Chain A
Amino acid sequence: MKKITTRTLAPLLLSACLAQMGTAQASIAYVSNEKDDSLSLIDLDSLEVIETIDVGQRPRGITFSKDFSKLYICASDDDTVQIMDTTTHQIIGELPSGEDPEQFSLHPDNRRLYISNEDDALVTVVDAQDATVLAQIDVGVEPEGMAVSPRGDLAINTSETTSMLHWIDTETHELIHNTRVEQRPRHVEFNQDGSRFWASSEIGGTVAVIDVDSKEIIKTLRFEIKGVHPDKVQPVGVKLTDDGKYAFVALGPANHVAVVDAQSFEVLDYLLVGRRVWHMEFDSKQQLLLTTNGISGDVSVIDVDDLKVTKSIKVGRYPWGVAVKP
């Protein structure tokens, strides 16, 4: 038998390494295009769109299962939540979401999906594994934002017309509290340990920071951008860094993302992005923040360390939601 030497092994090892490098997958951002009924896939290394996939009608909120094997898509005009296999990019099933699903949030148990039904003033809780409705909870008019605490014991829903945050006990599926906030609350985001959450009010132009234990608003943030009419400052999406350093607030038609010190609540900067910025998502290392800009039909990329907008990438018409697969 031929003797295996370092000389014969070296090229093998090298080619194995190269093959490994070649197959290494970059993070991919999935962006739902509301008016194109499609998803745009952005390679986060090259920052280019690598694929566009047709999905159900009017895709808005999107989120991954905890193992990133499935992508849940709110196909609002199809009144369903589609399940996409993230390997084959085929739609492999649908969930009974109730009418006009817009935003949703997956419970840490990776099964329960809390879905806002905008037209029915309901929150539908669906078991994502066996596609059954576990509960339907009456909330205010035009429910929109939805978030489940990382602790798993609490879900918060926002109702746009009632201007309220509805606190839902995830064990009993009952409303346990309501918090009045400024007009048209759109989005809720918990911090890393679930002790606080941030809720944006689009028409009110504010973001309320709420303490979970006391159920009190501890801070109401306001935004003022030089040269931009206050009416255009309409906060929607909120994202918080895991290290508790920054909060990013998408300011809608003001075309800016506010950078807020998450400890002192001081607004540090306003970053210019595309037109009508709504939702945002970090890459897995939280080095990049992606924003969906509905009217300009692109996704802006923010360098989180430098707090600079580095690029805007053209996607489909009216990009709405964004989720990142590591």
Chain B
Amino acid sequence: MVIKSEQGSSTSAVTKQKKQRQRNRPRNKRNRLEDIEDKSEQDSAMQKSSSNPQQNASADKTREQVMAEREAKKQAKLAKKQKSITPATTIITEVEQTTITQKLTTTTTTTTKEQSQLPLRSTNVADPKTASQSAQNSTDSFNPTAPASEKTREQIKAEREAKKAAKQAAKSAKSNNVDAAAKQLNNLQVATKIEAAPAAAATATGAAATADHEKKKPALTKAERRAIQEAQRAAKAQGQAKKTTATPGTVKSAAGNSVKATPNVSVTTHKEHKPDKDDKVDSPAKSPSKGGTVKADRECKVKLFNHLVSADKDASLFINDPNVHPSMARLGVQYAQRTIVGSNARCIAFLHALRQVVQDFETPAKKEFGRSLDVAVKHHVDHLNKCRPLAVSVYNAYKQFKNQLTQLPTDTPETELKELLGHFIDTYIENQIGKAAQAISSSMQEKITDGDVLLTFACSSLIQFICEEAKRRKVTFRVIVVDSRPFCEGQEMLRRLHACGIPCTYVLINAISYVMPEATKVMLGAHALLANGYVMARTGTAQVALVANSHNVPVLVCCETHKFSERFQTDAIVYNELCDPNLLVMDEKCSLNNWQSKSRLTPLNLSYDITPPELVSAVVTEVAILPCTSVPVILRIKPDIGY
């Protein structure tokens, strides 16, 4: 999974870099000037951030943009602080980076932090070091579409990682020659210089990281990746600052130049090759992504649901991530296109893909298997979450898996660990889903008697399983399948029940009052059971329960405990999932056609609704048949589920 071939090419790095340095000098000088211009522009932009019309008149700024801006601001503040206070007292990324690099340099130059910092400040303007400069520039060229939403946490992680890696590097730096140390010093210089320039500060971290990585390649892969991501963000922020001054091409072109120039630097070449390719791939994808945000704006036009972001259907965004395992990428697309629906199906598919990831995972050198796998899996889960918000079942499974990762023995070989995890995944599927279904089914069998008319809504694998089991027991009963537009999942349910010869009645949810008098029991599947006893399920479930209640028909919700969630929710609006509103449009003749062109008309397609506990007679779990309100009890006695 991780970049493998980097290691081989690190030997000739230094010499080539020297050449590169010479060759690049003039251009880089120019670049640097631009950078400085940039920075000043951004500074001014930041100072009048509230008044700048170009930057702020855009009320429709995407969240990412806002985040990036905020980040840049933070950095600016930080840099100011750094100027006034001693650098050792500040906490955030850049400073850490410098201190780390300082640590590295102390091995050869034996200077204290303050000592190193001061001369560097004085010399930094005069001495542009090409290698790191080019690295910095190249970071500019990275595709800035990195996910900004979970930035802070990732950032912190990256910092930690970088720190760790740097420590390792420092250790091994003792063995390194003076040349390398000198180069590092240069890096440091650049880093410190850029620290003074707040806008480019984050790129410095990228530069520092890449510089580190030039030396300590194998140990740094994760940190690098993080650092690069950060750098991308910073670059984006920078790009935005530039946009405001109508020089949008400069960063790009400079970056492009540097990338073209870098192939001589063998180590960085490889490093940059990937992002470069990425950039190429993503540059066409960028415009769709922009279109996507516009579309998303349209989709979320319903004011009540502005806080919900509908999943981006643009598949090119999903496929082109080199860090995502193909099985996960496929799963993501399947989630997004709704070929895999239903929380059990999603959970099983996720676990299968996860097993694939575990099997193909290669621990980066000098890294702990468990931890690096954890990071990799997290990346995958984030990716899936982008494709479609995670189901509670998937989330619980992931939590369980993570929990398992932390408990891995450290002294066992990797293959065994992988086996262990594979075994864990198998057991999870078998116990939490398979056996739970059997247990629920066996307790439900007591409730299904001859002559029963069961009413069910949409499609639930568990209900289907129960019905099949009842049929096997030769109980004479029939099923009313209630369905709703636009997904019409009930048709699938009808097909499955029909296949095992159960007599069925099929109605749309409108007609529920018409068929409810016939029903003797209502059996419903669930997406999740919330800690306050509310049932989260496919939209319409609550309505079925409501009508059943008004007809005094018992409502049984069947739900495995692996779907229990610790979330509290009292309405379906705070947290929900928006599906494609175009699905509501029936055909060409439908008057909803071209709703996009009518500014005041919005179809709304919600995924889930919340059934209050008073409408549910009982929840059937594999543990027991319980009232809804006992969910917290289950959560407590079974603490390994639902964090």
Q: Do A and B come from one complex?
A: no
> Residues of A at under 8 Å CB distance from B?
none
> Residues of B at under 8 Å CB distance from A?
none
